[in-house]
Homo-oligomer: A and B are copies of this chain.
Amino acid sequence: MAEKARLSLNQITVSRWSVAEAVEGCLRHGVRSIALWRHKIAEAGLAVCVQAVRDAGLRVTSVCRGGMFPAATAQERKKKLEDNFRAVDEAAELRADSLVMVVGGSAGLDLEDARRMVADGVAALVPYARERGVRIGLEPLHPMYTAERSVLVTIGQALELARGYDAREVGVILDTFHIWWDPKVAELIAESAGRIFGFHVSDWLVPLPDVLMGRGLMGDGAIDNRKLRLLVERAGYEGPIEVEIFNQALWDADPDMVLAQVIERFEKFA
C-alpha cells in the first residue's frame, strides 16, 4: 500500500479551501505535501502563501500551472509567455518541485502549428526557469483535451519534447487519469526513468459524468492506480504522489471529510 507520508494534496481536490485553509487541513490530517494553483495563490497573495507553507513545514510538490502557449497571433503568444515567466517566479518563491505545464489546446488553430507553438514556448521558458532553479514538468493530458487544453497527449510525445533539455530541467508529470488508457503505458513509464518529476492519482468514473469533472476518488473507477504506481516506482520515482480530483460532488462536500476520504483511498488503492 502507498504510504501516507508520500501523499501530496493537490488543492483543487478541496477546491473550496483557500491556500491557508488547505495548509491547515494538511496539518490537521498529517499530510506533508501540497500542490498549489495559481488562481488560489493570487487570491491569497504570494508572500502569504510562501510564509504559510514554510511555517507549516510543507513541501510544495507543484505549482499548477504554466503552459497554454498556442494562440493565433505573435502578440498573444508573447503575453502567454510573460504569464509563464510569472508562474516560474511563483514556483521559485514557493520552492516547488516543479511547475506543471498544461500546454494548451488546438481549437481554432492547425494542430501541428499548435504543437510547434508549444515547443517554441517551452524553448523560451526553459532558460528563464533554469536561472531561477525551477523544473518544468510537462504533463501529457488525456487525448480528449486536445482541442481545449493540451495538444500534448501521450507520454511518448512529452518525453520527445523533454529530451531536448537537460533531465534536471525538463521532465514529465504522470497522472493516471491522463495515461491509463495508453496501450504502451508500461514501456513509456519505463522510458521516463530519470525524468519523472511528479506522479498523480485519481480515478476514471464509469460512466464518465463529464469531460472535465469526471474524475473520482481512487477505487471508484476503472483505473488500476496501484499497478501504475508500481511501474512508476520501478522507473525510479519514489517522490510524493499528488491526489488531484476535479469532481463537483467532492467540491460541494465538506473539505475535511473529503481529505479524510482521500487519505483512506490513497492508502487502500494507490
Contacts and interface: CB of A to CB of B under 8 A. Distances in A.
A222 B146 contact: yes
A154 B183 contact: yes
Contacts of A142: 143-144
B222 A181 contact: no
Contacts of A219: none
A180 interface: yes
Number of copies: 2
A200 interface: no
A222 B144 contact: no
Contacts of A206: 107, 147-148
Nearest to A156: B183
Nearest to A110: B224
B208 A144 contact: yes
A216 to B, nearest CB: 12
A155 to B, nearest CB: 11
Contact of A144 (B107, B110, B144, B183): B144
A65 interface: no
A157 B115 CA distance: 23
A257 interface: no
A221 interface: yes
Contacts of A222: 106-107, 111, 146-147
24 contacts: A106-B222, A107-B222, A111-B180, A111-B222, A111-B224, A142-B144, A143-B143, A143-B181, A143-B182, A144-B144, A146-B180, A146-B181, A147-B206, A147-B221, A148-B208, A153-B182, A153-B183, A154-B182, A156-B183, A156-B184, A157-B183, A207-B211, A208-B211, A211-B211
Interface of A: 106-107, 110-111, 115, 142-144, 146-148, 153-154, 156-157, 180-184, 204, 206-208, 211, 214, 221-222, 224
